[in-house]
A and B are shown apart, each in its own frame.
Chain A
């Protein structure tokens, strides 16, 4: 009798392997995912005597969502190169889309403790209304989609897990730690403020900082921010789909 295959099962498998089982069997990993965004938030909040707390909370959320996607790169590479798991999955009825969907959702689930803490902080200190929540959610979704696309593309091209982890850390540093994500871009001196615009996270941070009232932006500037963010997301996703490999050639 032909088995009716469940897509829900196929996505669940990725979530279990890439998040739940690791968190359940090694609880310590959960702590490290929380500490990284919170530590920078604490530094910025202390240095600014609490003035930039709201900005830093928004920055923490950006960092979590961006880093989650980028972590996909090293996780996929680890499972592919060290355990040959991807080879086993390619030679099975699972499609690349189902594999990716499960693995991507796993990254978000892995970050849930951090997201919950930052969301509670945001609810207490920023107190966003429904429209602000919708805008923040849209920006974070775009941020995640963008980083997932980058992560998937790099993972399928990578054959070395050490290189993947190093690259993952480098991308997080370049795109989530260094740019004005935890603090407003107005604090970045010339000419570095122009360099900051090389990172898509800067545009996301500007929209979020404007949304919570921590930054003033003209309508034109805001439109450009959205356009760049959406454009970068579409372009990188397109490249990821075109360049990434499921069956090798």
Chain B
């Protein structure tokens, strides 16, 4: 089984800003890997380095045993990327967009033509095949870009913020597409939508200010924080004395109690007896992120 390995990756830009600081991790190169972090955390820098667009200041990285830096040419045969803020060229149609990308990858004309049609069909873009990209909706344009890279044979796809700026329905449509893709290829995506990472990713990495602070699947990340359950009270209530727990009151008015399983169920029984409305859930990626990245719960809606 192949792996993606980063060893002490560091990137310091010319303006002396450290975008990545000794990032090291290793994950299997299969399924979907989600990299989360706030704006400026270093997600785009890391994905650009791994996609051979940007040279690191120091450190090394390997994908399926291929050195990202000394064997960039070999790796480029196996990767494709949709960069952050990439847009479908407006004077082209979806068919022309996918077709020309395949030609760039060196496909013979007829093969590129066939694969372009096949990819557009898979993503439900046939009705828009010959419509100018400039006339498509934001969600459809993004699908065109996904169709472009997935039309190729590349088994490793990098997607930098693939759903940024999309409406909730378009986002969910794209999630379905990405889930399907993740079954046959390795998808490395960055996002600042925590629900997206939670819904899609088999493994998640959390970047904070250029440092990787945690990597794992959701249950591994849950176990990396002190508390595994979250109780939310819809209004500011007098919270009874708790055992091992952390209580926060958000600026939007709800109270959150993070605690362990035993204490969570004790409190739940207590609130039920007192007729207090509450919800109880295992900690979400939001909770984990805010704990690990040092944010106050509820003070931010996105990471």
Taking residues whose C-beta sits less than 8 angstroms from the other chain, chain A's interface range is 20 to 34
CB within 8 Å of B: which A166-196 residues:
none
The number of A-B residue pairs with CB atoms under 8 Å apart is 117
Among listed B35-43, B99-107, B171-179, B196-204, interface-contacting one: B99-107
Among listed B16-24, B71-79, B229-237, B262-270, interface-contacting one: B71-79
Q: Please classify the interface of chain A as helix (H, G, I), strand (E, B), loop, or mixed, using the class held by over half of its residues.
A: helix
Q: Contact: B105 with A5, CB < 8 Å?
A: yes
Contact of B100 among A16, A84, A90 (CB under 8 A): A16
Q: Contact: B89 with A83, CB < 8 Å?
A: yes
Contact of B53 among A79, A82, A247 (CB under 8 A): A247
Q: Contact: A248 with B55, CB < 8 Å?
A: yes
Given A5-B106, A12-B103: A248 touches B54 (CB 8 Å cut-off): yes
Q: Bound state CA distance, A84 and B102, in angstroms?
A: 16
Given A3-B153, A9-B109, A247-B52: A89 touches B87 (CB 8 Å cut-off): no
Interface size in chain B (residues, C-beta < 8 A): 43
Q: Contact: B55 with A247, CB < 8 Å?
A: yes
A160 interface residue (CB < 8 Å to B): no
Give the residues in chain B near A6, CB-CB below 8 Å.
106-108
Shortest Cβ distance from residue B13 to the other chain A in the assembled complex, whole angstroms: 10
Q: Bound state CA distance, A92 and B153, in angstroms?
A: 11
User: Can you sample 27 A-B contacts with CB below 8 Å?
Assistant: A5-B106, A9-B104, A9-B106, A10-B105, A13-B100, A25-B93, A83-B86, A83-B88, A83-B89, A84-B85, A87-B81, A87-B83, A88-B80, A88-B101, A88-B148, A89-B104, A90-B51, A91-B51, A91-B79, A92-B76, A92-B80, A93-B73, A93-B77, A247-B54, A247-B55, A248-B48, A249-B54
**A interface vs B, CB < 8 Å?**
3-7, 9-10, 12-14, 16-17, 21-22, 25-26, 79, 82-85, 87-94, 98-99, 247-249
